[in-house]
Amino acid sequence: MNFATITYILGWILKVEGGLLLLPALVGLIYRESAFLSYLAVAALTFAVGALMTRKKPRLMQVYGRDGFAAVGLGWIAISVFGALPFSLCGDIPFYVDALFETISGFTTTGSSILSSVEELNHCTLFWRSLTHWVGGMGIIVFMLAIVPILGGSTLNLMKAESPGPVVDKLVPRIKQSATILYGIYGLLSAAELILLMLFGMPLFEAICHTFGTVGTGGFSVLNQGYMAYPASLQIITTVFMLLCGTNFTFFYLIGCRRFRSAFKMEEVRVYLVIVVLSILLIGWNIRGLYGSAGDTVRAAAFQVASVITTTGYASADFNAWPELSKMILVVLMFVGACAGSTGGGMKVSRLIIAVKSVKREISTINHQRLVKKIRMDGSTIADSTIHSTHVFIAAYFLIFFISALLVSLDGFDFAASFTAVAATLNNIGPGLSVIGPTGNFGDFSVLSKLVLMFDMLAGRLELFPMLILLAPGSWRRHS
């Protein structure tokens, strides 16, 4: 492992975070809150530590595969450790483990919270919680690559380790340019939603925070009731943008390049939309007696389906009170997740397509033993290495899930709470069922369970292996 290069990368990550922490400090100044001093102090500390780590550029700036995974895993841990400090220093979340839980939940765009009342928080804290969603949504490394040319061309392994999905393709030959294009799309979606929310009556501060939470598919709100407190027009706008941000960003790039045939040829996007429509119809039919009109029923179903499949986690209704079929559909959607190359979490639609096609190929091979059948997607043959990595991912995913569920069950909560706590964090959803439903929180879980769930949030956001590689002793050997 190239420790000098990893240290240098971590230093740049902390310097970028130090700069970002100035934004909530500015918000605190605007609202005349003394908590701004905590954010200013942590910003200075974080930048200073980062500056020390980058004072000398390594002679060999090569990022190998395991270096990229380790740098990404350690980078997300580092920004969370420092990002949690102002929560505790300003007194909004005094217990550091809870502050760390909230911060990791923010950066990983999970949206699970230990807080029972967010409306008691300072504006700078509310802003920082939501900003972590926006930065973590597209990825901290991608964000850094878009603004800081630190490694020249040796960055693909970093992007592979952080980007969601079984395959990571560059939009253009240069990684920095690809990162810039991704953040350009991200910024346009953010600006569009912010403008629409304000046009339809949402106050500026609330619109900014909810835009961060929607486009980053995070789910932190500034109100205790979340989207239950907002009118139908704002719920509809947010539903549309949640679905857009759960779509593979390559789709938007192709549309922008006027390559419409290639865009609508993307099988993952088509399957994603079919799953969304079918889920809305089924849930709408199942909850039709709970709402006064067909419009209200469809809006409630659409909002919650969009929120769960994109792993945003907002709630416009207490779905804990919905019939069992509707709750089961939502739990299934937690595992399905959004598209690869989006800001959403979960296993990703593309992996499920590959898994289903693998099963069909296996059945065909059993029936016709001489048959050689390739798995194809979007008109191209999928490499055997991609199919293998998909199967390994699914196996590792369920291994982590079951171990985590066993550990969390030690707290003695009912099955629905223990099961969906892991499902909600590993898939970066936010709320679950029972005591952690849309009106509940994770505050009553033990320190052990919170640590397990924090690991799950990081593992889920980083596609498992950047976190798993940190636990493997062989990963820490120096390169020969």
pLDDT in tens, 304-349: 999 999 999 999 999 989 999 999 999 999 999 999 888 888 899 9
Which DSSP symbol is given to 109?
T
pLDDT for position 173: 47
CA dihedral 287, 321, 439, 96 (to 10 degrees): -110
Q: 6-15, 99-108, 259-268, 435-444 — which one is most confidently predicted on average?
A: 99-108
Tokens of 50: 């980062």
Between CA 144 and CA 17 the distance in angstroms is 10
The secondary structure of 213-241 as a DSSP string is HHHTT----SSTTGGGGS-HHHHHHHHHH
Give the mean pLDDT of 392-401: 94
pLDDT for position 128: 97
Residue 452 clears pLDDT 60, i.e. is over it? yes
Between CA 89 and CA 38 the distance in angstroms is 6
Cβ atoms of 79 and 55 closer than 8 Å: no
Phi, psi of 377 (to 5 degrees): -145, 135
pLDDT for position 215: 95
Residue 199 clears pLDDT 50, i.e. is over it? yes
Residue 278 clears pLDDT 50, i.e. is over it? yes
pLDDT in tens, 439-450: 889 999 999 999
Q: Which of 132, 241, 124, 259 is nearest to 186 (CA)?
A: 241
Tokens of 445: 């879980």
pLDDT in tens, 462-474: 888 889 988 887 6
Question: In sequence order, what are the beta bridge partners of 134?
Answer: none
Name the average pLDDT for the chain. 89
Sign of the torsion angle spanned by Cα atoms 221, 224, 227, 233:
negative
pLDDT in tens, 206-225: 999 999 999 999 999 999 99
Between CA 195 and CA 77 the distance in angstroms is 33
Residue 86 clears pLDDT 80, i.e. is over it? yes
Between CA 403 and CA 7 the distance in angstroms is 31
Tokens of 135: 């930065």
Count how many residues are written for the chain. Answer: 480
| pTM assigned to the model | 0.93
Tokens of 104: 């990791």
In this structure, of 7-16, 41-50, 139-148, 431-440, the range with the lowest mean pLDDT score is 139-148
Give the mean pLDDT of 410-435: 94
